[in-house]
Amino acid sequence: LKQVVSQHAHLPAETQDGQRVSLHLNLGLDLKQSYLQGLNIDGIGLYRSEIPFMMRDQLPTEDEQVEMYTEVLEQFPDKPVVMRTLDVGGDKPLPYLSLQEDNPFLGWRGIRLTLDHPEIFLVQVRAMLRASIGRSNLRILLPMVTSVSEVEEASRLIKQAYFEVAEEQGCAVGINLVQPQLGVMIEVPAIIYQLPALASKVDFFSVGSNDLTQYLLAVDRNNRRVANLYDAYHPAVLASLDEIARRCEELGKPVSVCGELAGDPGGALLLVAMGYRQLSMNSYNIDRVRWILRNVRSSTLQVMLAKALQARHPEQIRKMISNKMESIG
């Protein structure tokens, strides 16, 4: 099977009836791996900027961050690179920042933390912008957004950073320093009901299905005692993903999925059926997802989705998907 999958690696990810899906890469520490060079991808859908922060014993300086981000942007010069601002807290501790909380997943994480420390946010965004001088592939993504005001505040800081950098570096605004597109992660359920309010403030959305599942089901994604309850195939999760796709379509805003579900071949099929046209995943899933998409028709996907949305239990959906996979080979 591996060989069959790799025979398709250079081909576009599209269904048999020509529905094209773009496949993006989630990037963390594996930046320097040689296998990335040969991967047929449409861009970086999620660069988890917190990972290099977690590997150090103090905050990287602005210059160090410029170096880190330059390395990523220059490796994919003609493809969009979505850099997420620092997403620490919850399950991602920083060794040099004390976070003692009773409910860390409901606490000080992601954008909440960085807006309380605008100096950290500003330095990071300045570094991203400096790294983007002379390029046009930087996109900025905000994690753990709950409210419109957070996006307004973050946008204000990004603008400030943009004009500071432009002036300091003597950049021609809009020419060798372009304003990066801004995106918001849909991972706190409250955001589903604020998409119209956010649409005019952002360029794209990206669904973090890992956290969305955790928060919709009120199940800690890392707690083994409740691991059996954490399930992205839960009917409520699928219904909300379907709803998000519809709402974004109505609003005319691009939306991708960058949680684990996008890299799960069965999950990818359901997401494409819902209307998602951008999926971002770990490197080892790219060619598997491409292959499975190249072996289905949209009409089949619609039948699968209709069944999945009617199912009462995740097991029914899994069974249906595994039957489908078997029939494909």
Positions in the binding site for Mg ion (CB under 5 A): 187, 208, 211
CB of 215 to Mg ion, least distance (A): 10
Give the nearer residue to Mg ion in terms of CB position, either 177 or 182.
182
DSSP alpha helix (H) spans, 169-234: 195-199, 209-217
Contacts with ligand PEP by CB under 6 A: the residue count is 10
Burial of 175 (0-12, 13-18, 19+ CB in 10 A): exposed
8 A C-beta contact, residue 274 and residue 253:
no
CB of 50 to ligand PEP, least distance (A): 8
Cα(220)–Cα(201) distance, rounded to whole angstroms? 31
Per the listing, tokens 């994604």 go with: 221
8 A C-beta contact, residue 111 and residue 176:
no
CB of 315 to ligand PEP, least distance (A): 23
Joined tokens for residue 141:
């993504």
Burial of 103 (0-12, 13-18, 19+ CB in 10 A): exposed
Element at 129 (helix H, strand E): helix 118-131
**In one letter, which amino acid is 13?**
A
Give the nearer residue to ligand PEP in terms of CB position, either 15 or 278.
278
Joined tokens for residue 327:
């029939």
Give the nearer residue to ligand PEP in terms of CB position, either 75 or 210.
210
Of 8-16, 197-205, 207-215, 226-234, the segment contacting ligand PEP by CB under 6 A is 207-215
8 A C-beta contact, residue 79 and residue 43:
yes
Query: Which entry of Mg ion, ligand PEP, none binds 258, CB below 5 to 8 A by partner kind?
Result: ligand PEP
Q: Which of 45, 80, 208, 267 binds ligand PEP (CB under 6 A)?
A: 208
264 lies in the binding site for ligand PEP (CB under 6 A): no
Cα(287)–Cα(193) distance, rounded to whole angstroms? 34
5: helix, strand or coil: helix
Query: Which entry of Mg ion, ligand PEP, none binds 259, CB below 5 to 8 A by partner kind?
Result: ligand PEP
Query: Which entry of ligand PEP, Mg ion, none binds 48, CB below 5 to 8 A by partner kind?
Result: ligand PEP
48 lies in the binding site for ligand PEP (CB under 6 A): yes
Handedness of CA 124, 67, 137, 258 (dihedral sign): negative
Q: Which of 147, 210, 283, 316 binds ligand PEP (CB under 6 A)?
A: 210
CB of 295 to ligand PEP, least distance (A): 26
Element at 131 (helix H, strand E): helix 118-131
Query: Which entry of Mg ion, ligand PEP, none binds 209, CB below 5 to 8 A by partner kind?
Result: ligand PEP
Q: Which of 187, 220, 231, 242 binds ligand PEP (CB under 6 A)?
A: 187
Stretch 244-263 residues interacting with ligand PEP (CB under 6 A): 258-259
- What's the Cα-to-Cα distance from 51 to each of 54, 93, 163, 242, rounded to whole Å? 5, 10, 27, 30
Of 36-44, 193-201, 203-211, 241-249, the segment contacting ligand PEP by CB under 6 A is 203-211
Per the listing, tokens 């996006």 go with: 151
231 lies in the binding site for ligand PEP (CB under 6 A): no
Query: Which entry of ligand PEP, Mg ion, none binds 220, CB below 5 to 8 A by partner kind?
Result: none
Stretch 74-93 residues interacting with ligand PEP (CB under 6 A): 87
CB of 6 to Mg ion, least distance (A): 30
- Contacting residues toward ligand PEP, per CB under 6 A: 46, 48, 87, 187, 208-211, 258-259
